[in-house]
Amino acid sequence: MAGPALLVAPLTNIDADLGLANDMLLFLSLTVAAALVGGLLPALASAALGSLLLNYYFTPPLHRLTIADPKNILAIAIFVSVAVSVASVVDLAARRTHQAARLRAESEILSFLAGSVLRGETTLDALLERVRETFAMESVALLERQSEVEPWTCAGSVGPTPVARPEDADVDMPVGGHMALALSGRVLPAEDRRVLGAFAAQAAVVLDRQRLRVEAEQAREHAEGDRIRTALLAAVSHDLRTPLATIKVSVTSLRSADVERSEEDRAELLAGIEEGADRLDHLIGNLLDMSRLETGTVQPLIRATDLDEVVPMALGGVPDGSVRLDIPEDLPLVAVDPGLLERAVANVVENAVKYSPSGEPVRVSVSAMADRVEVRVINRGPGVPDEAKERIFAPFQRYGDTPRGAGVGLGLAVARGFVEAMGGMLAAEDTPGGGFTMVLTLCAASGRPPVRPDLPATVTS
């Protein structure tokens, strides 16, 4: 309404007479501008005030609301009708443009939600943050309860001071019977609730997906535990009972007074008892070590250690002449737990000797590279395919046609667990010319760990 009033001053003060038609066009332009800026009602007010000002200042007799010439009455009537028509059209176009922009924004949001459902990428916190940004809210919370008599609990929230009940929120959107999306910050118009409903439904889906993922992970862990227990029972029922049976038979034979035995026979029976006891000790040691690794009850005691002191001690369980050592004298110290390293090297070497062909000793070589020290256990056995190189480190795994009496398949799994607990790495590689090589990568005492694996447990010697 200020526009027509301000337009009167320049039109009445200029010397040239623009004519009533031009004056009407100028007032009409102000009406169109009012429609563009404020909509239909401001445009109608501008048209009404403009017609009165045209009558008073520009239609004879001037400065009076009467009109002497009937043609001027028709002109002002046409001005009002055209102004109202143009204002209506402009207002309608502006509203359609606004609706189109809103629908485009809604379609983009719904497309985002549909894509996140298909990809399964959006987390609950990220989705709630998207709700808060989309609707310019202070906080958003997803509330749930098991029944109508129980209190609400917060399944997820973003922003400061989220509400604890839907009744306390500025906007709440129910999701099913026992879930609600609560927003604080301002009251939303009715047209925004459709998109908010889509967000609320998606939040419920994301929450269910997260819970299903956790349940699936727990089920996987239970299944893995059941698999290990089943394998352990199988190992106990066969691999442990075999040496026990040997010891039992040998002891019974030695205690029998019905048969006279020579010193050679007695020595052979005693050697069988000793061999069975050593085998039992080795099997039970690996089982206990694997159990400690799985339950996370061990921690490493890291100190600077000379490999010259540890590696030779790890070869006590293999036949003489089956291993050839190559340890340089100028090696740096390594940061390890000596007890754990000895057990790991012993398991790796015993496994290599088991698969090494007769007459081909296993070679153990040590070398330093920057802040790392590598222990390579090389054999000329049948080798391991690439797809099986990781599988041989799994618990209760035997590769190839190894007989049942050759162990429970825990040696390499225990060795890797111990090496990784000390910040190192154990991997299998092909040996040039045939066979496979186990590489233990350790940290030099003055360097940093070569890898930082995510350990499922800490290890104690």
Distance CA 304, CA 422 (A): 12
- Confidence bin at 295 (pLDDT 50/70/90): low
Q: Which residue has the tokens 């949001």?
A: 109
Q: Is residue 71 part of a domain?
A: yes
Q: Are residues 241 and 251 in the same domain?
A: yes
Q: Is residue 457 part of a domain?
A: no
Q: Are residues 311 and 392 in the same domain?
A: yes
Q: Are residues 432 and 371 in the same domain?
A: yes
Query: Tens digit of pLDDT for each residue in 360-401?
Result: 899 999 998 888 999 999 988 887 888 878 878 876 665 554
More confidently predicted of 74 and 14: 74
Q: Is residue 242 part of a domain?
A: yes
Q: Is residue 453 part of a domain?
A: no
Dihedral, 229, 231, 236, 238 alpha carbons, nearest 10: 160
pLDDT of residue 439: 92
Q: Are residues 356 and 421 in the same domain?
A: yes
Q: Is residue 405 part of a domain?
A: yes
Q: How far apart are the first and last CA of the chain?
A: 89
Q: Is residue 52 part of a domain?
A: yes
- Confidence bin at 313 (pLDDT 50/70/90): confident
Q: Please give the angle made by the CA atoms of 295, 296 and 298, to the nearest 5 degrees.
A: 125
pLDDT of residue 240: 67
Pairing type for strands 179-184 and 139-144 reads antiparallel
- Mean pLDDT for the chain overall: 78
Q: Are residues 146 and 249 in the same domain?
A: no
Q: Is residue 436 part of a domain?
A: yes
Q: Are residues 437 and 310 in the same domain?
A: yes
Distance CA 418, CA 438 (A): 14
Percent of the chain at pLDDT > 90 equals: 6
The residue among 233, 267, 294 that closes a domain is 294
pTM over 0.75: no
| Residue type at 247 in one-letter notation | I
Phi-psi region of 407 (alpha: psi -120 to 50; beta: other; left: phi over 0): left
Q: Is residue 105 part of a domain?
A: no
Distance CA 232, CA 283 (A): 11
pLDDT of residue 230: 66
CATH number at residue 128: 3.30.450.40
Q: Are residues 208 and 225 in the same domain?
A: no
The residue among 294, 327, 344 that closes a domain is 294
CATH number at residue 312: 3.30.565.10
Q: What is the mean pLDDT of residues 410-425?
A: 83
Q: Are residues 132 and 79 in the same domain?
A: no
Q: Are residues 315 and 414 in the same domain?
A: yes
174 CB neighbour count, 10 Å cutoff: 12
Q: Are residues 346 and 431 in the same domain?
A: yes
More confidently predicted of 293 and 320: 320
**Cβ atoms of 439 and 429 closer than 8 Å:** yes
Q: Are residues 318 and 414 in the same domain?
A: yes
| Residue type at 197 in one-letter notation | G
Name the residue among 336, 244, 343 with its Cα closest to residue 290: 343
Q: Are residues 435 and 315 in the same domain?
A: yes
pLDDT of residue 228: 61
CATH number at residue 241: 1.10.287.130
Q: Please give the angle made by the CA atoms of 279, 285 and 290, to the nearest 5 degrees.
A: 130
Name the residue among 38, 35, 45 with its Cα closest to residue 86: 35
Distance CA 92, CA 98 (A): 10
Number of domains in the chain: 4
- Confidence bin at 120 (pLDDT 50/70/90): low
Q: Please give the angle made by the CA atoms of 273, 275 and 278, to the nearest 5 degrees.
A: 110
**Residue 413 belongs to domain spanning:** 303-443
Residue 229 has pLDDT above 50, yes or no: yes
pLDDT of residue 392: 80
The residue among 216, 249, 283 that closes a domain is 216
